[in-house]
Amino acid sequence: MENVYLTIVLAPLVAAIIAGFFGHKVGRAGAHWATIIAVGIAFLLSLWVFWQQWVGDAAVFNGSVYTWMVSEGVRFEVGFLIDRLSAMMMVVVTFVSLMVHIYTIGYMKDDPGYQRFFAYISLFTFAMLMLVMSNNFLQLFFGWEAVGLVSYLLIGFWHKRPSAIHANLKAFLVNRVGDFGFLLGIAAIFLYFNSMDYMEVFGAAPDVSGETMSIFGGLEWSVLTVICILLFIGAMGKSAQVPLHVWLPDSMEGPTPISALIHAATMVTAGIYMVARMSPLFELSVTALSVVITIGAITALFMGLLGLVQHDIKRVVAYSTLSQLGYMTVALGASAYAASIFHLMTHAFFKALLFLAAGSVIIGMHHIQDMRQMGGLRKYMPITYVTCLVGALALIGFPGFSGFFSKDGIIEAVALSEIPGAGFAYWAVLIGVFVTALYTFRMFFLVFHGKERMDEHTKHDLKESPWVVTAPLILLAIPSVIIGAPFVSSMLLGDFFTNSIHVAPERDVLGMLGEKYDGAMALLSHGLVAAPVYLALAGVVVAWFLYLKRPDLPGKLATALGPVHRLLENKYYFDAFNEKVIAPASRGLGRLFWQVGDVRLIDGLIVNGSARLVGWIAGAARRAQTGFLYHYAFAMVIGLAALLAWLILR
């Protein structure tokens, strides 16, 4: 099995090397075939591993494949932990990546960086697999930083655009803030557990739970609370939680295929997966769980509201990702880790579908992304229309679709939680259902229905995208509909993740939920009479009324709600605050450190100062060497007198 795991993770790396270093020799076709075959192999093997874990009930694999270093008894290794959690993530990552690879052939066909792009996305897949398959914090950190690096390269792929360079630098810097907290958390784990191995740390966690540390002001903090909050700060950066969310909407500057890969299966899911994997630690700190659920609730509701005022089709979907990540984070904070991972899985399929459908529209519109210049596209792009509708219905939680089961599972679980902040979180995710339906079908109606607002030249050339674009849409639409129901009993309400996720009995909200509903049909029957379905329906109806029946009203509402509308258009002024306060303050602090630390202390005192001191001493010594004998005799007499005085007086 070890060879199978190595093949899964190394195949995309080998393909990335072929496409990246030998792309000029293998050509465009060679680059895409090498990477598609490699990721296809990784997907098929991952599917087999998942099947063995699910149906075959295979044993958990936890082993080292390479020892990097041993220091004072602590082993730093490359190793794999393959259980149902990691196996499910491997399938999601490789399948979505495979669809993106195929789609890229059509989307990037005329781009001069064709081979380079395939090298990057294959490398991205390798980095994410290293992260999810890891059995230790060293490898986790490697995968964590690797996905950050490749996302930086991909967001700024069109590096001749100033907006792309600004976006990838923004993503890099914001993630450095989160990664600083993440690294401190890993350092604290090493300090208190003296191990980098997951299982060793999890096993010793109850013994450390009573220990405290003094950080500042003499206040004592729980060691595990500090560790969990530091790790979650890392997750806030990767999974774009408030206030470290600002990079994700700007990541739309990258090509659409990478937007789908980042938002659906790689970068942003890393933080959610990490917290779920660290459940044995988080379950020992109610304070950390309260922080998680509160941050998630704020993100779920307030980031969704921003989708209502966006005009760029990709940015609407991007803010949808922010909101849905908030739902997953809320579930983590409510100790409903399985519900969070279940929603991560379903969301990966329909969010990749929505992004790739948006890309198909952009291809048809000759790279126009403003929805105000679209309309009536359903008759020109029927496959894109139908698949986008499937993705939209899954996103809003239409009964029976995959998103219905995972989103309703989260809402019901949060309603049962007693974690501080759970009450606010419940209302946030409940209101978020209406908001999600409103911005989703606002986008859908503006793009595919109503008056045709494109110019005559664009309208004349409008046609359905080629099969390499539409085939991945169809293949993603299928799980967007059916992937939820088969796993409700086992993954959401059952014991699917028993060996992967630990939940304290007093906080087992999904166990309580399982006592009320025994499967998909029971949850569906309840959902049909519960508030979320009707809130989603209300959102769709309001979107239809505002953007199809009375398209004059949105403008009037924007004027009437002037301050609120400006607040949303300016994204709560997070970007303005960062650019006008944080960035100047950081540059000023950097200049201060440079002037005081580098120029005055290091250069002025240490480097140049030591040189001046040596020069002064040499000058003084030079003046003492006069060459006159009586000067030397006088110095000897003075020295002898001083020596005698010391001997007599001591």
pLDDT in tens, 367-409: 889 999 998 899 999 999 999 999 999 999 999 999 999 999 9
Closest CA to 445 of 257, 313, 319, 350: 313
Split at pLDDT 50, 70, 90, the class of 36 is very high
Mean pLDDT to the nearest integer, 74-81: 88
Q: What is the mean pLDDT of residues 183-200?
A: 93
**Residue 91 CA to its chain's centroid (Å):** 18
> Residue 209's pLDDT band (boundaries 50, 70, 90)?
confident
Q: Which of 98-107, 407-416, 514-523 has the lowest mean pLDDT?
A: 514-523
Q: Average the pLDDT over 441-450 and give the result.
A: 94
**Token pair in block for residue 228:** 């969990």
Residue 217 confidence class, pLDDT cut points 50, 70, 90: low
Alpha carbon of residue 318 to chain centroid: 12
CA 380 to chain centre: 35
Q: Which H or E run includes 135?
A: none
d(CA 465, CA 382): 10
Pairing of strands 61-71, 74-82: antiparallel
pLDDT tens digit sequence for 314-366 = 999 999 999 999 999 999 999 999 999 999 999 999 999 999 999 999 998 98
Q: What is the CA radius of gyration of the chain?
A: 29
Q: What is the share, in percent, of the chain residues with pLDDT greater than 90?
A: 66
Residue 628 confidence (pLDDT) above 80: no
What is the per-residue pLDDT for 44?
96
Q: Model confidence at 630, in pLDDT bands (50, 70, 90)?
A: low
Token pair for 230: 């530091």
Nearest to 299 by CA among 349, 249, 227: 249
Per-residue pLDDT, averaged over 400-427, amounts to: 94
pLDDT, residue 644, reads 85
Position 452 scores a pLDDT of 87
Supply the pTM of this predicted model: 0.91
Beta bridge partners of 370: 312
Q: Does 626 have pLDDT greater than 80?
A: no
List residues bridging with 67 in a β-sheet: 77
DSSP-derived secondary structure for 38-60: HHHHHHHHHHHHHHHHHTS-PPP
In the predicted model, what is the mean pLDDT of the chain?
90
pLDDT at 455: 83
C-beta neighbour count of 266 within 10 angstroms: 30
Of the two residues 290 and 526, the one the predictor is more confident about is: 290
Q: State how far the Cα of 41 lies from the Cα of 145, in Å rounded to an integer.
A: 25
